């Protein structure tokens, strides 16, 4: 009889843990996480961070190689040959949670305003594509850090929590435009052909 009660208690605990984890969600904009640009462009991602249990504060984001462990501490850096990632969300003080906060934070990507989850500056000589994962870290508190009664020691539930989302950058090939001197040569060649035909008539 005791074994059944213990199993039931463990199952309840596992369900509670799953429910708590399921209440914190990260989605990117675009939803596929796939962005593209030309060499020298800066691209990026919008995002929605949802948390309806306690109060979550975003502490940072990273763009890691797809072969990385999702743990932020084991984030393998991307090859700098394609470009560099800049964290936007972690530089803002963003809190998601129950009232008086909002349970969802949504931002579109805007490089000038530094909004969105982050930006990726494509190297001017880059080509090809890069797949990886964006890792968002957050701390969890029992009281909103915006509350005057907030105590960072007593109200901290956990630090270094993380969520991941697949992301990729595709660099569009640059189409070469003929230089003005090439146009001049082509024009001279066409003129010579026209004059030659007139003489032969």
Q: How high is the mean pLDDT of the chain?
A: 83
pLDDT in tens, 13-38: 433 343 444 488 999 999 999 999 99
The whole-angstrom separation of Cα 34 and Cα 79 is 17
Output the pTM of the full model: 0.74
Predicted confidence at residue 10, as pLDDT, reads 39
The average pLDDT across 38-49 equals 97
pLDDT tops 50 at residue 11: no
* Angle value at C-alpha 165, between 122 and 41, nearest 5 degrees: 15
Predicted confidence at residue 53, as pLDDT, reads 87
Predicted confidence at residue 199, as pLDDT, reads 62
The whole-angstrom separation of Cα 106 and Cα 49 is 7
User: Of the ranges 16-20, 71-75, 147-151, which one carries the lowest mean pLDDT score?
Assistant: 16-20
Half-sphere exposure (Cβ direction) of 100: Cα atoms closer than 13 Å = 6
Tokens representing residue 46 in the block: 């919008």
Predicted confidence at residue 20, as pLDDT, reads 42
Per residue, the 3-state secondary structure of the chain, as one string, reads CHHHHHHHHHHHHHHHHHHHHHCEEEEEECCCCEEEECCCCEEEEEEEEEECCCEEEEEEEEEEECCCCCCHHHCCECCCCCEEEEECHHHCCCEECCCCCCCEEEECCECCCCECCEEEEECCCCCEEEEEEEEEEEEEECCCCCCCCCCCCCCEEEEEEEEEEEEEEEECCCCCCCCHHHHHHHHHHHHHHHHHHHHHC
pLDDT in tens, 93-109: 999 999 999 999 999 99
Q: Which domains does the chain have, with CATH numbers?
A: 25-192 (2.60.40.10)
Among residues 23, 102, 97, 107, which one has the least CA distance to residue 61?
Answer: 107
Q: Which residues on neighbouring strands pair with residue 47, listed in sequence order? A: 28, 107
């Amino acid at each position: 009889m005791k074994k059944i009660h213990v199993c039931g208690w463990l199952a309840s605990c596992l369900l509670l843990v799953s429910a708590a984890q399921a209440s914190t969600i990260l989605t990117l904009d675009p939803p596929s996480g796939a962005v593209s640009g030309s060499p020298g462009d800066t691209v990026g991602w919008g995002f929605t961070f949802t948390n309806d249990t306690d109060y979550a504060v975003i502490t940072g984001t990273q763009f890691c190689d797809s072969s990385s462990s999702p743990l932020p501490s084991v984030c393998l850096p991307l090859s700098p040959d394609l470009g560099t990632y800049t964290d936007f969300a972690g530089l803002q003080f963003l809190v998601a949670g129950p009232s008086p906060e909002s349970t969802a934070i949504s931002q579109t990507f805007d490089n000038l305003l530094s909004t969105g989850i982050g930006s990726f500056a494509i190297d001017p000589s880059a080509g090809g594509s890069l797949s990886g994962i964006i890792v968002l870290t957050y701390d969890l508190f029992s009281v909103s850090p915006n509350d005057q009664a907030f105590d960072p020691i007593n109200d901290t539930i956990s630090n270094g929590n993380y969520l991941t989302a697949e992301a990729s950058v595709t660099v569009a090939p640059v189409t070469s435009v003929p230089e003005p001197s090439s146009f001049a040569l082509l024009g001279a060649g066409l003129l010579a052909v026209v004059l030659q035909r007139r003489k032969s008539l």
